[in-house]
Amino acid sequence: MDQVIVISGDIVSSTSLIPKDKSLLELKLKQLIVTLEENFGVYARLIKGDYLECVVTKPEQALKIALLIKCFVKSIDISSDGSYTKNKRVKFFKTYGIRLALGYGVLDRFDVEKGVIDGDAIYRSGRLINSNSTHNKQRIVIKNTLFFSSKIKALNLQMCAILSLLDTILSNATARQCEVLYYKLMGNSEDEVSQLLDIGQSTVNQHSTSAGWNSIDTTISYFNTLFSKKSKA
């Protein structure tokens, strides 16, 4: 099989959400999976309501898909329940949303009908997520939420630098800004986003500019070009 990228994703502080928000989160993630499958032809699945696995057979699309997932999760409108004000773990969810790891490599077995994903790519993404998990930890320390692993050391260093910068940009973005970014990542113009969100075009522009859209778009284009060349090599 050709090289693929497997994206593994673990929701930050999901166990701290109230039952209503856990149900909303699971419903939204299932809707996202359908959107990704229809628009990008990927295979994605949700495990235990808060863990995602996504096989991207066109590696050049992987960064865009990862950022779509990140922005989508951060834009989910969980309750403004008063009990949340002192819950630091829920604040982590609002700030970071989801932890994502991209594993670049081959899959020895990939059977959609049987739900089998096995090989180097998923081992790499899974190990990164597990090693940075905050489940059952008394004290949460989050330095990064975007990770990359491959057999190529130079590529790992390159992607680490890129993802670190994107991590900072998205961690500082508000839920509304992430919602705007999500629709722009889906290929909508600012006028179309304006209609979808029922806000002015100037507001859409302000949100996307404040959230660093130009830098995000440039980085996605670079990633696309880089991995398109690798797939032809």
Q: How many Å apart are CA 84 and CA 13, to the nearest integer? A: 12
Q: For residue range 96-144, what is the model confidence (pLDDT) as tens digits?
A: 889 999 999 999 999 999 999 999 999 999 999 988 665 555 455 567 8
Range(s) of the domain holding residue 93 = 4-172
Residue at 43 is within a domain: yes
Residue at 188 is within a domain: no
pLDDT at 186 over 90: yes
CATH number at residue 140: 3.30.70.270
pLDDT: which is higher, 55 or 21: 55
Helix (H) or strand (E) holding 233: none
Q: What is the pLDDT of residue 1?
A: 64
pLDDT at 84 over 60: no
Residue at 211 is within a domain: no
Q: What is the pLDDT of residue 2?
A: 87
Residue at 190 is within a domain: no
Query: Considering the chain, what percentage of its residues have pLDDT values greater than 70?
Result: 89
Tell me the CA distances in angstroms from 116 to 55, 64, 93, 122, one per residue in order: 11, 24, 30, 11
C-alpha 115 chain-centroid distance: 21
Residue at 216 is within a domain: no
Pairing of strands 116-118, 98-105: unpaired
> What is the number of domains present in the chain?
1
Q: For residue range 13-53, what is the model confidence (pLDDT) as tens digits?
A: 888 888 888 999 999 999 999 999 999 999 999 999 999 99
